[in-house]
Amino acid sequence: MADTELERAEKRYAQAKARLQALKNREATRQRKLDTRRKVILGGALMDLAERDSGAAAMLDRLIRNLPREQDLKAFADWETPSPAPSNSDPETPS
């Protein structure tokens, strides 16, 4: 049984539509991965800065305390917010 021109066109249309959806899905996955990578990098940078800067340490502590989801809070249950080590140039540190 030979396909009619209309049936062949519908088949090509369905295949093109499936390819388009696959491309959209790949792009969405790529964007999610990039977003996750950015969050990990920024989180690491904030944690590193908190070890050197008391303002960043306070911000990090405040961010953790205000996490809205219980499962997110549990991830930080045993974790201590980094606190800046006193530097030798600190005027309040005795020589």
The domain in which residue 50 lies consists of 5-72
In a domain, 46, yes or no: yes
- On the 0-12 / 13-18 / 19+ scale of CB atoms within 10 A, 49 is middle
What is d(CA 81, CA 58) in angstroms, rounded to the nearest whole number? 8
What is d(CA 95, CA 9) in angstroms, rounded to the nearest whole number? 85
Mean pLDDT of the chain: 89
Residue 79 in this model has a pLDDT that exceeds 90: no
- When pLDDT is averaged across residues 44-72 and rounded to a whole number, the result is 93
Please, what is the angle between helix 54-65 and helix 5-50, to 10°? 130
Q: Binning pLDDT at 50, 70 and 90, where does residue 91 land?
A: low
In a domain, 93, yes or no: no
Residue 92 in this model has a pLDDT that exceeds 50: yes
In a domain, 18, yes or no: yes
In a domain, 65, yes or no: yes
In this structure, what token pair is assigned to residue 37? Answer: 């990578």
